[in-house]
Amino acid sequence: MITTLTESEVDKLRTASRVMYRISYDRIKSDLCRPDVASKFRGQKIIDLGSGTGWYLPLFFKAGCKELVVVEPKPRQELVDKIGEMNSQGQRVFLERDAYNFWNKHPDESAIVTSYGVFDPVIIGGCRSILIDDSDLDEIIDKYFRTAAKEIERITPTGQITVHRGPLAYLIKEYTTKLQPYSEDGTHTDWRESDGGILLKQ
C-alpha cells in the first residue's frame, strides 16, 4: 500500500514550495517531438505534473495524446487561459489542483506521467524559510518524492514510458523497481542521474 500525505503535511509542502521553471523550451520540445516518444504518447492519457504557464502543453496533442491532466497546485492565469483555449479547440484538458494526493483518482496502468522541473529542491520546499517550524520538512519532502515515484510506477502502463527532468528526477528510478532508463535502440539512453530523462516500465 502506498502511503499518502496527511492534510497537515500537504499544507506545509504547499506553503514551502514555489512555482518556477528552469527547463528550456528546447529541452522539452526535443523530448516531446521525438518520433519514438510521440509514438508512445499517441492515443494515451497524459498526466503532466507542475505545468507552469502551460506554454508547452500543445506539444502533447501534436504528439497525438487523447487526454491531458494538468497538475498544478498554484495555477497562474496564463495556465488557466491556455487550458481554456485548448478546450475550445476540442482538446480534452483538465486542471487538477490537488498536486499531492490526487493519485487515487487514476487506476493502475492508466496514464503516462511527465514532469519538467518538479523534482527539484528549489521548487519543492524552496520557500522553507517562511515556515514557523521546518524541522520535519525534509522528512515530508522525502515522503512526497517517494509517494510520487511509487504512484508514477503504478499508473504507468507496462511497456510505456514516463518522462521527468530535474535535478532530483533520479529519485523516481531509485524509489521504484520497474522503471528503468529507456533506450530507443536497446543500447543508448539519454537518462542522466543529474537531470533525469525517459524511463520505461518493464
What gap in Å lies between CA 27 and CA 117, rounded to an integer? 11
Statement: residue 101 has pLDDT above 90: no
Average pLDDT, integer, range 53-71? 94
* Alpha-helical segments (H) within 70-177: 77-88, 137-155, 170-174
Which range has the top average pLDDT, 2-16, 101-115, 119-133? 101-115
In a domain, 72, yes or no: yes
pLDDT of residue 201: 98
Residue 24 lies in a domain: yes
Among residues 130, 104, 97, which one has the least CA distance to residue 12? 130
Q: What is the pLDDT of residue 122?
A: 59
* Bigger pLDDT: 187 vs 26: 187
Q: Is 146 exposed, middle or buried (0-12, 13-18, 19+ CB in 10 A)?
A: middle
| Structure confidence at residue 10 (pLDDT) | 56
- pLDDT for res 5: 64
Tell me if 2 is assigned to some domain: no
Residue 1 counted as domain residue = no
Residue 189 lies in domain: 7-201
Distances (CA, A) of 12 to 80, 96, 102, 178: 24, 19, 17, 30
The three cell numbers of residue 55 are: 506554454
Taken as a whole, the chain contains a residue count of 202
Convert the pLDDT of each residue in 138-172 to its tens digit: 888 888 889 999 999 999 999 999 999 988 899 99
Contact, 54 vs 24, CB < 8 A? no
Q: Give the global pTM.
A: 0.86
The three-state secondary structure class of 75 is coil
Confidence at 70, pLDDT banded by 50, 70, 90: very high
Quick one: pLDDT band at residue 133, thresholds 50, 70, 90?
A: confident
Span 17-43, pLDDT tens digits: 555 445 567 788 889 999 999 999 999
Tell me, yes or no, whether 76 lies in a domain. yes
Most confident range, picked from 74-83, 104-113, 114-123? 104-113
Interatomic CA distance for residues 79 and 74, integer angstroms? 10
SS3 40: helix
Q: For residue 54, is it within any domain?
A: yes
- CATH code assigned at 118: 3.40.50.150
Q: For the chain, how many structural domains are there in total?
A: 1
In a domain, 191, yes or no: yes
Residue 142 lies in a domain: yes
